[in-house]
Amino acid sequence: MSNLRKILIFLMTVVMLICSGCENDPKGSGMTDKSNTEKAETLDGDLEQSGKDPKLPPKPPQLKSDKKDEMGQMKKMKVKVYYPDESGLRLIGVNREIEISDSDGKYKAAVEAVMTPPKEKNLTKVVSNNSSLISVDVKDGTALVNLSKNIKIGFVGGSTGEELLIGSVVNTLTEFKEVNAVKFLIDGQEVETLSGHMDLSAPIKRMENLMKH
């Protein structure tokens, strides 16, 4: 009987120790499970925000806008450009392909083509290398050609050279059906003449007398 009593006392002691442990931690392992669950939820949220959650399809890459598309594609068109012939007495029209970005850009592009030295051997350039074009605007059938003052510096073309220079620009721009005449400006200011030979105080109409047929 004494051995049985010792066993019962031992079992009771073990039970009491177990019960004491449960009272100190009433939730038992439940706290660990909850902590693990919270960590998992936080990790899932972070992954979802960053787009790296393996359970979600990858987010498509953000494509940068094409600046060229925003500005519009450059368009090409053919125009007739007039240059003096090798004798320096007449104008000859040749076809050129110009690039434009809008409907108004064609006028400036056409005059810039006039100011570019010709590829043809029987034609000569119109202006000096230091000349530049500021703008070309068309209003009520008149093209306002604004040139830099450099075009007057060192101009030695004489009366014929001045006439061919003016005529090349005028006849090129009047190839456009909406342009009837051309008014010349220097640095935005009206001028009476380029080198003292032609009257530029009024718009100049197409100069058919300079055409070589």
Q: Give the separation between CA 99 and CA 110, rounded to whole angstroms.
A: 9
Does some domain include residue 29?
A: no
How many domains does the chain contain in total?
1
CB 106 within 8 A of CB 79: yes
Q: Quick check: 91 and 210 in contact, CB under 8 A?
A: yes
Residue 18, both tokens: 């177990």
Cβ proximity of 94 and 80 under 8 Å:
yes
Contacts with 58 (C-beta within 8 Å, 6 or more apart), sequence order = 51
Question: For residue 153, what are the domain limits?
Answer: 72-210
The pTM assigned to this predicted structure is 0.65
Question: Could you read off the pLDDT of 124-141 as tens digits, one per residue?
Answer: 988 877 788 999 999 999
- Take residue 87 and report the two structure tokens written for it: 């004798």
Residue 95: inside a domain: yes
CA 65, 101, 66 angle in degrees (round to 5)? Answer: 10
Domain-located, residue 136: yes
Nearest CA to 122 out of 84, 89, 171 is that of: 84
The answer to whether residue 62 is domain-embedded is no
Residues of the chain with pLDDT under 70: 1-4, 14-15, 19-72, 102-104, 154-156, 212-213
What does the radius of gyration of the chain's CA atoms come to, in whole angstroms? 44
Nearest to 81, CA basis, from 127, 112, 121, 122: 112
Nearest to 74 by CA among 97, 96, 54: 97
In a domain, 59, yes or no: no
- Residue 165 domain-assigned (yes or no): yes
DSSP one-letter code for 57: P
Residue 158: per-residue pLDDT: 80
Strands (DSSP E) found in 106-178: 133-139, 142-147
* pLDDT score recorded for residue 9: 75
pLDDT score, position 68:
42
Q: Which residue has the tokens 């009024």?
A: 202
**On the CB side of 46, how many CA atoms lie within 13 Å of its CA?**
6
Residue 34 belongs to a domain: no
pLDDT for 41 equals 52
Backbone angles phi, psi at 198, to 5 degrees: -115, 140
Residue 52 forms part of a structural domain: no
Per-residue pLDDT, 57: 55
Q: Which residue has the tokens 């043809």?
A: 120
